[in-house]
Amino acid sequence: MEKVILEVNDLTTKYVTRFHEDIYAVDHVSLKAKEGKSLGIAGESGCGKSTLALSLMGYYFPPLHYTKGEIIINGRKINNMDPDDLRKTILGTEISYIPQAAMNALNPTQKIFGFIKDVVQAHEPKATKEDVYDLAREKFEILGLSKDVLEKYPVELSGGMKQRTVIAVSVILRPKILIADEPSSALDVTSQKMVIKMLKDLMEKGFIKSMIFITHELPLLYNVTDEIMVMYAGQIIEQGTAKEVVFDPLHPYSKGLMNSILVPENGARQLKLSAIPGAPPNLKCPPQGCRFAERCKYVQPECKVHPIDLQDLKNGRTYRCIFSQKYLRKAYENG
Amino acid sequence: MKNALEQVFHSRKFVAGFSIFMVLLLLVFVYPILIRDKPLAIIGQGTFFPPGIYVDVYDSLNSTTYILNLDDAAINRINKALGDQQRQELKDWLMLAGVPEDQIDINNTELLLDLWEKSYDEALMIPGLTYAEQRYYQRLDDSLEGLLSIEGVVIAKEDAQTGELEKIDSITQFDYVNIGEVTNVRVLPLGTDNFGRDVLTELVKALAVSLQIGFVAGIVATLIGLTLGLLSGYVGGILDDFIMFITNLFTVIPSFVLLILISFSIGQENRGAITIAVVIGFTSWVWTARAVRSQVISLRNRDHVNLSKLSGHSTFHIIVNDILPYIASYVIMALILQISSAILSEASLSILGLGPRTTDVPTLGLMMNWAMIYQAHILGKWWAYFPVIMTIALITFSLNLMNTGLDQVFNPTLRE
Amino acid sequence: MADGNEVCLCGEGLTKIYLDGRQKNVAVDHVDFEIFQHKTISIVGESGSGKTTLAKMLLGLTKPTEGEIYFQGKKRDLSTSRKRTEYWKFIQAIFQDPYSSYNTFNKVDTVLLDCINMRGGKRLPHKKKYEMMEDACCFVNLKFDELTNKYPFELSGGQMQRLMIARIFILKPRILIADEPTSMIDACSRATILEMLMKLKKEEGMTVIFITHDIGLAYYISDCVYIMEHGKIVESGSAEDVILHPKEKYTQRLISDVPKIHQEWDLSTIN
């Protein structure tokens, strides 16, 4: 059995709006990030994937609020830790997070080295400038970044380079797990490839033990991760290995997502692109039964009655639908 | 639009500023209805009458008299005329006049006044007393006359031919009139100014005129700035270069200096309130123009403007429909600031004596100017200038508060 | 006109130089192209390759620094506002960001009403206008009754972009320039938008110029592909030729850098 780095059980977090309405953006989510494996989270915008990424760190600030569930990193429960304690002992050293626009968060008036110094000294106040410099140079060398970058200002770097620098800095304290939320979606394809290569290197060289990768771009997700979870309206609706989820999706929503993949490959022109009609439900008052029922082609009256439980197949494959896998596969074959 | 207004009125700062401003505006409109005096009518013969209630003495003689036996009336009267300071001054004079110190008891009113009456002589020249001090003792002597008397005063009428006096009435210390029954009573809450004009009435009128100047100047400045900013931002090219050249020119020359020069060259005769307002507006449009231009440049490349072009709309239509609404909130904020700074500019100009030269309307700046020329601040006549300062502060404070409130609503980065 | 081989828009030596102080910034560099009727053409390039500037020049929103655009065999003339309006009856656009494509102070009906007016329907009775708007919304699977009297910010990104297609449906231009119409919306709505664009093209016989950075999308949708790099067109040809058998190094790199699902994505080519 592989070692579990990050375990999340039944995590629920909510946003509280100005009018004191609760929006459960992460609703009873459980997941396990295993050593040496990367976990992907897919879903359309507004399905709660970025909120999940934020919630995983156990650090909440309004309007995001913790409701229930537990987060365990390396055997340590962090969901009820003191925020200061959490910041000192967990964030950066156990778990690290790269938001979508991370590269824009660099202070334009500070050299990259200054930024690294701030990060390191926040955790090790005694570290001298030389210590930090040695540490940074060593890490940059392993990650294939030139050490000249340390002496540059953010404006002197290209978008891809900035993003790679931010990633390098976020793993400088050797966190066990890295959460990357759309780290490459603002970049062009070449820079994207560099960023992805770096993330893969981090895993291979053992810099980080595990990674959670979030994106709406399915071909990318397929190439980067070992396992994929599909999120819809705050819930996990399907989980499996990357291959299974992309080529043999079970949930009708996953099926719809996979049908929207466009790649420049032979035969792609002959594919029939099919769209999912309608829009996701309003999470202020989610539907009673299956949350996808309104948009589902195969909907039955009983779908709308009770909340649907995850059906657990063997080998960690789960999906949230009342139909059997056999029925679904057959339905997809017949169109 | 409705939504935006609602939000604006949820901002506490805006509501506070708006309330103060509305109170001032209400004062401007309601006061002239209640008090119908001409604002610049000279009513006081003399300068700087202090604030208070003025009762016509002649009318009070003709009013019904009531006798009230009040124990402390006499004591009050003595204390008012003969305070501790006056007693000491009497002692000082007496000693200078050669009365030995041990004979003077300043705490015994009767003895002291007796001694004073015996010793004081107006014509006596005491060495070491200035003329002003001599005059002061004369006045003091007058005020002490009859202080201890209980016989009252006789009112007599002088016969025009013979010059004989005919007694009409007599007043005792116990006679009172009811102020409500006296025909002519005038309240001067802020006294009178150096010309003898009622300061409050004058102040309200000055506030109205200053607001008028502020609005005219603000609107002139905003209109010029908005037009130039829109043209230079939207049309671009050579027109932009030209407008920016002029704008930079105006930026480099300090606008207040320009204001002074223009006001001076217009000449005293032609400087009316509205002229000054236009001049102020003409020298303060620069920042509006620059800000509008930069906003328009960023809006010009937005897709909705492109789409509007593709839908065949004219440039004028695009500017009015697709650009103006986006900068409207900003322009209104700029207008509010322009109004408040125009009021201040007028005040500064007038203090220098370059304000509107008029004899029929006051402005806040002119009131300050008059108070300054007649040395109200040196003479301690606070009512001539302090209320004016407070009014200027209140207007600019309320306008700036409104501006900050609007900024909070329309500037997303300042939202909580 | 029916043979579909007629050139309806062509450009010769199109160049756009932006002046940034004294620095010259060449956005589009001597681009030549021909666009045939009833075809779907993709212009593919990374950010900063000048594809959006090229689109703006084609639309007549930006003046080319150099070069000419020929429209239906004649030199394009946009000197008067009447000529511009005539031109824009033939060529229209959908922009990248639906959120900034709307004037947030106008109700969404205005967008469609403007189009009806532009097509000469200014004096039509109110009922007829209403019907036309209803038709257009129906075409993009929107219910007009639910949209009318709403402000743009009350719609989702996908709905906004569909309404932009409804606008094109009313205008019925001969050429449509779609500038990354799907890059700001997520994968599911993307399929919907593409589906509608293709339906529109088929029904109205439009020529579509698709501007995108997504090479997979370009391959799926277009007959003909232009690849742009630093303001120059480096490769052009049929979609099959260019994307499955790229000749230029830049095109090859571009294609190899895109993640795929059936083939191995080779990460080792990066130095």
B314–chain C Cβ distance below 8 A for any pair:
yes
Residue B178: Cβ within 10 Å count: 11
Neighbouring C-beta atoms of residue B331, cutoff 10 Å = 21
Touching B: which chains, 3+ CB pairs < 8 A?
C
State percent of chain B over pLDDT 90.
37
Residue C24: predicted pLDDT? 86
Residues A237-288: pLDDT tens digits? 999 999 999 999 999 999 888 888 888 887 777 777 777 877 788 888 888 8
pLDDT in tens, C67-94: 999 988 788 888 888 888 889 989 999 9
Q: pLDDT at position C1, please?
A: 38
| Cα gap A26→B157, rounded to integer Å | 101
Q: Give residue-wise pLDDT tens across range A72-81.
A: 988 888 888 8
Please report residues of C whose CB lies closer than 8 A to that of A190. Answer: 46, 253-254, 257
Q: Is B187 helix (H, G, I), strand (E, B) or coil?
A: strand
Cβ <8 Å between B308 and C96: no
Predicted TM-score (pTM) of the model is: 0.78
pLDDT of residue B414: 55
Query: Token match 């300062």: residue?
Result: B389
Average confidence (pLDDT) over A27-55: 88
For A166-193, how does the pLDDT look when each residue is reduced to its tens digit (9 = 90+)?
888 888 888 999 999 988 877 888 888 8
The pLDDT value recorded for residue B2 is 63
Beta-carbon pairs below 8 A across chains B and C: 47
Q: Please compute the mean of the pLDDT values over residues A36-61 and round it to a whole number.
A: 87
With contact defined as beta carbons under 8 Å apart, do B169 and B61 qualify?
Answer: yes
The reported pLDDT for the residue numbered B92 is 84
**What would the mean pLDDT of B234-251 be, rounded to a whole number?**
91
C238 touches chain A (CB under 8 A): no
How far, in Å, CA of B13 to CA of A304, rounded?
Answer: 49
Determine, for residues C106 and B321 on separate chains, whether the beta-carbon distance falls below 8 Å.
yes
Higher pLDDT, C25 or B268: C25
ipTM of model: 0.88
Cα–Cα distance list, B184 to B55, B56, B65, B192 (Å)? 6, 6, 16, 17
Nearest Cβ partner for C59 among B308, B310, B314? B310
Please judge whether A190 and C46 are an interchain contact, meaning their C-beta atoms are less than 8 angstroms apart: yes
Q: Which of C92, C102, C103 sits opposite B310 (nearest CB)?
A: C92
Cβ–Cβ contact B304 with C under 8 A: yes
pLDDT category of residue A206 using cuts at 50, 70 and 90: confident
pLDDT of residue C2: 43
Q: Cβ–Cβ of A44/C189 closer than 8 Å?
A: yes
Interchain CB contact of C244 with B (< 8 Å): no
Determine whether the interchain pair C186/A45 forms a contact, defined as Cβ–Cβ distance below 8 Å.
yes
In angstroms, the Cα distances linking A330 to A255, A323, B164, B182 are 13, 11, 135, 107
Q: How close does chain C come to A70, measured CA to CA in Å?
A: 31
Q: Tell me the two tokens of residue B151.
A: 């016989």
- Chain A hits for C253, CB-CB cut-off 8 Å, are 190
Task: Note whether C7 contacts B: Cβ–Cβ < 8 A.
Answer: no
pLDDT band at B402 (very low <50, low <70, confident <90, very high): very high
Name the neighbours of A, counting chains with at least 3 Cβ pairs within 8 A: C
B319 falls in which pLDDT band (50, 70, 90)?
Answer: very high
| pLDDT value at B311 more than 50 | yes
Among C82, C88, C100, the residue to mutate for chain B (most B Cβ within 10 A): C100
Contacts for A60 with CB less than 8 Å, ≥ 6 apart: A13, A54, A66
Whole-angstrom Cα distance, residue A153 to residue A108?
A: 7
**pLDDT at position B51:** 93
Cα-Cα-Cα-Cα dihedral sign, residues A183, A185, A187, A192: positive
The answer to whether A198 faces chain C, any CB pair under 8 Å, is no
The interface residues of chain C toward chain B in range 133-192, judged by CB-CB distance below 8 A, are none
Considering only the beta carbons, identify the residue of C217, C218, C257 that sits closest to A193. C257
* Nearest alpha carbon to residue B341 among B275, B287, B387: B287
Q: Tens place of pLDDT for every residue, chain C, 271 residues? A: 344 468 888 889 999 998 877 788 889 999 998 888 888 999 998 888 888 899 999 998 888 999 999 988 788 888 888 888 889 989 999 998 888 888 888 888 888 888 888 888 788 888 898 888 898 898 888 888 888 888 888 888 888 888 999 999 999 899 999 998 888 777 777 888 888 888 888 888 899 999 998 888 889 889 999 999 989 999 999 988 998 889 999 998 888 888 888 887 877 766 4
If one counts every other C-beta atom within 10 angstroms of the C-beta of residue B96, the result is 13
For chain B, how many residues are written? 416
Calculate how close chain C gets to A294, using CA atoms only, in Å. 15
Confidence of residue A83 (pLDDT cuts 50, 70, 90): confident
What is residue A258's DSSP assignment? H
Q: Is A218 on the interface with C (CB under 8 A)?
A: yes
Which chain A positions have a beta carbon within 8 Å of C195's beta carbon? 273, 275
Identify the closest residue of chain B to C90 by CA–CA distance.
B310
Q: Which residues contact A209 (CB under 8 A, 6 or more apart)?
A: A5, A35, A36, A176, A177
Determine the distance from the C-alpha atom of residue A166 to the mean position of all C-alpha atoms in its chain, rounded to a whole number. Answer: 17
Q: Which of A245, A199, A188 is nearest to A98 (CA)?
A: A199
C224 touching A, CB under 8 A? no
Comparing CB atoms, the residue among C185, C195, C219 nearest residue A264 is: C219
Q: How far is C118 from chain B (nearest CA, A)?
A: 7
A86 close to C (CB below 8 A): no
DSSP code per residue over A90-136:
TBTTTEEEE-TTGGGGS-TTS-HHHHHHHHHHHH-TT--HHHHHHHH
Considering only CA atoms, which of B213, B349, B221, B215 is closest in space to residue B284?
B221
Please check the confidence at residue B400 and state whether its pLDDT lies above 90. yes
Is the minimum CB–CB distance between A197 and chain C shorter than 8 Å?
Answer: yes
Q: Do A193 and C270 touch (CB under 8 A)?
A: yes
A204 CB burial (10 A radius; 0-12, 13-18, 19+): exposed
C163: which chain B residues are within 8 Å (Cβ-Cβ)? none
Average pLDDT of A146-150? 86
pLDDT at A1: 61
Phi-psi region of A325 (alpha: psi -120 to 50; beta: other; left: phi over 0): alpha
Cβ-defined contact of C105 to B306 (cutoff 8 Å): no
Per-residue pLDDT reduced to its tens digit, B143-176? 777 777 777 788 888 888 888 888 888 888 888 9
Neighbours of chain C (3+ CB pairs under 8 A): A, B
How close does chain A come to C253, measured CA to CA in Å?
8
Q: Given CB atoms, is B300 within the 8 Å cutoff of chain C?
A: no
State residue B416's pLDDT score: 47
Set of chain C residues whose Cβ sits within 8 Å of the Cβ of B309: 61, 88
Cα distance between residue A113 and residue A110, in whole Å: 8
Contact map slice: C 138-197 vs A, CB within 8 A: 141, 156, 158-159, 185-192, 194-195
CB pair distance less than 8 Å for A266 and C158: no
- A57: three-class secondary structure by DSSP: coil
Q: Which residues of B touch C114 (CB under 8 A)?
A: 308, 311-313
Size of interface A-C (CB pairs under 8 A): 112
Whether the bond between A63 and the residue before it is cis, its omega within 30 degrees of 0, is yes
Quick: pLDDT tens for B34-83.
888 888 888 888 888 999 999 998 888 888 889 888 888 888 888 887 88
Q: Determine whether the interchain pair A264/C261 forms a contact, defined as Cβ–Cβ distance below 8 Å.
A: no
